[in-house]
Amino acid sequence: MSIRPNAILEVDALERRFDVSAPWLNRLIERKPRQTLRAVDGVDFTIQRGQTLALVGESGCGKSTIAKLVTGLHPPSGGKIRFHGDRDRLQMIFQDPFASLNPRWRVARIIAEPLRTLRPDTPLDQVSARVEDLLRTVGLAPADGLKFPHEFSGGQRQRISIARALAGEPEFLVCDEPTSALDVSVQAQVLNLMKKLQKEMGLTYLFISHDLSVVRHMADVIAVMYLGRIVEIQPTADLFANPLHPYTQLLLDTIPDLEAPKRDRSPMAGEVPSPVSPPSGCSFHPRCPRAFDRCKQERPQRRPEVHNRRVACFAAETTLERIPHV
Amino acid sequence: MSDVVLDVQNLRVEFPTRKGTLTAVDGISLQIRRGEVLGMVGESGAGKSMTGMSILGLLEPPGRIAAGSIHLSGDRIDTLDDRAMQTIRGRRIGAIFQDPLTSLNPLFRVGDQLVETIRLHTSLDKAQARERAKDLMREVGIPAVEERIDNYPHQFSGGMRQRIVIALALCAEPELIVADEPTTALDVSIQAQITALLKRLCRERGTAVMLVTHDMGVIAETADRVAVMYAGRLAEVGTVDDVVRHPKHPYTVGLMGSIPSLRKDVEELQMIPGSMPRLNAIPPGCAFNPRCMRAGPRCHREVPRIATEQSGAACWLGTQGGVA
Ligand SMILES: Nc1ncnc2c1ncn2[C@@H]1O[C@H](COP(=O)(O)OP(=O)(O)OP(=O)(O)O)[C@@H](O)[C@H]1O
Ligand SMILES: Nc1ncnc2c1ncn2[C@@H]1O[C@H](COP(=O)(O)OP(=O)(O)OP(=O)(O)O)[C@@H](O)[C@H]1O
Ligand code: SF4
Ligand code: SF4
Ligand SMILES: [Mg+2]
Ligand SMILES: [Mg+2]
């Protein structure tokens, strides 16, 4: 397949399965079969250079697994990931700024590490000059390089993670819930910084969050996931103006809305099904208000040939047909 | 009889340390009435959980209540000993924390845990208590109760586990529920189920609820009144409409502005510069003064307080004399 114009990342039919069987002896005694969990189950998307694609969806739908597949922390079980950039300049910001910084290293050393990996011969004085620059870029002071991570607040630690990711001169950043551990006022500081850096350095982001207002602010394109699959993908404004998949519609209806609070909002019915034994056909059918017979038997097609505007739903496909492709 | 369920007056919580005494909660007064949800918001470390823990009698030493009083439906509870507080916690105040696993014992079936708690606080026999447990599970929306009652906590999803914790908190029909970030670990769909449930209990049983959360959307849809905390003090109290739509305190204004909108597009989110001071470095006067665009000389000298307990902002702006 040809490179889509200006794509930096192309993901095709990506799969990742985990073996979650009981231990061998238990299986033998209790006669339990092997069990496989399909964390990522046939996912396609493309990210354009300098843009932000966001993955959203309920807990456990496979967002972090995709992040780990893209960064190479997990090998895929199937499908392809094609990165048309410099692998060494692909960096990740993790969900938890507390766990991802080495507590025994001073901040300057933490930030310098990716730089040393990328360019091992850089003279020491250049390394420290660069670290000071980076600290200033993320709104910290050069003197903060002498401190240890525990001396910083959550928001400051997340800035340190960002400085470390930037030290590797990234062109592509995978950000897994970069602000979920922060409170809203600190979140605003981190999001503004990320947007500014994107504009100045032309960075591309794969941005993961379950907060739809954050995603709306950050993303150019949003992919909505359900049980390991992308059920809908659309440019941000279109997704909010005209959500096509019943799950997206319910998701948008469920967000507590500060500007137009609905005090009698009815929650989405039903439990998130188990990814070990997903429902037949369209895996959303047990919770779907629009489900009909076909949904229980047949799985809506992926239609990977259409980019950045598609929906996997029998009821919605007809609606989509009427939207001109961009 | 007045319908004030919780009455906190001038609560002060201190942590003695080697380097001196830290004040985590500094003179807070609040009231919650029957059937009312009070939302508590504020920067991380502002003292929300410490306030909740003080009410529950669960402050970990060396933390201690250094001043003030807490009354529950007219009875003073902050001076009670541990044993008496334990009874109050089961019977009159229910607690829900962020992680449901801290409230559930992983080794026991949820039904047995419910039955035990019910029997501790009522005179029901075992069979009656089990029936009551099933009713409670139904009430919090657990499907197929007959099949699920003998499951262990790990066999439930996160949202169902949190609902079991709510069922546990309800066992004795408490007057007050303290819920500290009950939905933070859950995603939006389950969060909506839990908040709908809390609201219904409040309405149907007249339970008073103190709901601590970072999510202003949840506050806007669930709470009747909101208390905003900053550096151990109350910055602002008022009805949801007042605080969310017409915030008065510059910190609340900044907080509301920093939330990304679901409707409006902005290039840059509004920010509050700087960060909250550490407890050992709270400046004299208004604790918000280093970050406040509108601070005047008075803000560096005198601590502003909220005029009444029901509504208002702890800020010199708009008061007689202003910030000068
Ligand atoms: N190493 C693993 N072994 C077995 N199962 C796994 C493993 N990693 C993830 N999973 C499972 O894969 C599914 C997807 O997990 P993932 O962490 O990608 O979800 P997520 O969308 O990031 O959720 P969250 O919003 O809670 O972070 C889950 O059911 C999870 O339990
Ligand atoms: N054992 C302790 N010793 C000293 N200070 C403590 C101790 N426990 C908590 N604190 C301090 O008390 C203050 C109030 O903490 P609290 O947990 O009430 O904050 P919070 O408002 O609930 O924040 P969050 O939103 O992060 O949960 C914090 O500054 C915290 O550092
Ligand atoms: S395919 Fe059927 S069950 Fe699935 S989302 Fe569409 S209407 Fe609902
Ligand atoms: S009292 Fe002064 S410093 Fe404090 S919030 Fe009001 S104007 Fe700002
Ligand atoms: Mg994740
Ligand atoms: Mg807390």
Q: What is the pLDDT of residues A128-137, one digit of tens each?
A: 999 998 998 8
Beta bridge partners of B278: none
Residue of the CA atom closest to atom 11 of ligand 2 = B24
State the average pLDDT over residues B122-129. 91
Q: Which residue on chain A is closest to B186 by alpha carbon?
A: A59
Write the pLDDT tens digit of every residue in A220-239: 999 999 999 999 999 999 99
**ipTM higher than threshold 0.85:** no
Could you tell me which residue, A11 or A158, shows the higher pLDDT?
A: A11
Percent of chain A residues topping a pLDDT of 70: 94
Write the pLDDT tens digit of every residue in B64-113: 999 999 999 999 999 999 999 988 988 899 998 877 777 888 899 999 99
CB contact under 8 A, B221 and A261: yes
Q: Please tell me what DSSP assigns to residue A180.
A: T
Sheet containing B4-17, strands listed edge to edge, beginning at the edge strand earlier in sequence: B20-33, B4-17, B64-72, B75-76
Task: Give the pLDDT of residue B309.
Answer: 67
Task: Give the pLDDT of residue B56.
Answer: 95
Contacts of A42 (CB under 8 A, 6+ apart): A13, A14, A15, A79, A228, A229, A302
Task: Give the pLDDT of residue A95.
Answer: 75
A278 Cβ closer than 6 Å to some ligand 1 atom:
no
What pLDDT band is residue B250 in, cutting at 50, 70 and 90?
A: very high
Which of A150, A152, A184 is the best mutation test for B, with the most CBs of B within 10 A? A184
CB contact under 8 A, A261 and B193: no
Q: Does B189 touch chain A (CB under 8 A)?
A: yes
Could you tell me the distance, in angstroms and rounded to a whole number, from the CA of residue A265 to the centre of ligand 6?
26
**What are chain B's domains?**
4-223 (3.40.50.300), 227-324 (no CATH)
Task: Give the pLDDT of residue B295.
Answer: 95
What pLDDT band is residue B138 in, cutting at 50, 70 and 90?
A: confident
Is the pLDDT at A3 greater than 70? The verdict is no
User: Best substitution site from B11, B13, B15 to test ligand 2's pocket, by max atoms within 8 Å of Cβ?
Assistant: B15
Tokens of B77: 């509870």
| Helices B158-170, B126-139: crossing angle, 10 deg rounding | 130
Is the pLDDT at B259 greater than 60? The verdict is yes
- Spatial CA neighbour of B47 closest among B27, B62, B31: B27
Q: Which residues of B touch A262 (CB under 8 A)?
A: 221
C-alpha to C-alpha distance for A54 and A230, rounded to whole angstroms: 11
Strand, helix or coil for residue B10: strand
C-alpha to C-alpha distance for A118 and A105, rounded to whole angstroms: 19
Task: Give the pLDDT of residue A322.
Answer: 59
Beta strands in chain A (DSSP E): 7-19, 36-48, 52-56, 78-83, 90-93, 172-176, 204-208, 221-226, 229-235, 310-311
State the average pLDDT over residues B232-256. 94
Radius of gyration of chain A (CA): 21
A229 Cβ closer than 6 Å to some ligand 3 atom:
no
Residue of the CA atom closest to atom 28 of ligand 2 = B45
* CA distances in angstroms from A300 to A105, A245, B304, listed in the order given: 50, 11, 61
What pLDDT band is residue A326 in, cutting at 50, 70 and 90?
A: very low
Write the pLDDT tens digit of every residue in A58-94: 878 899 999 999 999 999 999 999 999 998 889 998 8
Write the pLDDT tens digit of every residue in A230-286: 999 999 999 999 999 999 998 898 888 888 887 777 777 766 777 788 899 999 999
Tell me which residues of chain B, numbers 196 to 225, contact chain A at a CB-CB cutoff of 8 Å: 196, 199, 214-218, 220-222
Q: Please tell me what DSSP assigns to residue B242.
A: I
Closest ligand 1 atom number to CA of residue B187: 25
Pocket of ligand 4, beta carbon within 6 A: B 249-250, 286, 288-289, 292, 294-295, 299, 304, 315-317, 323
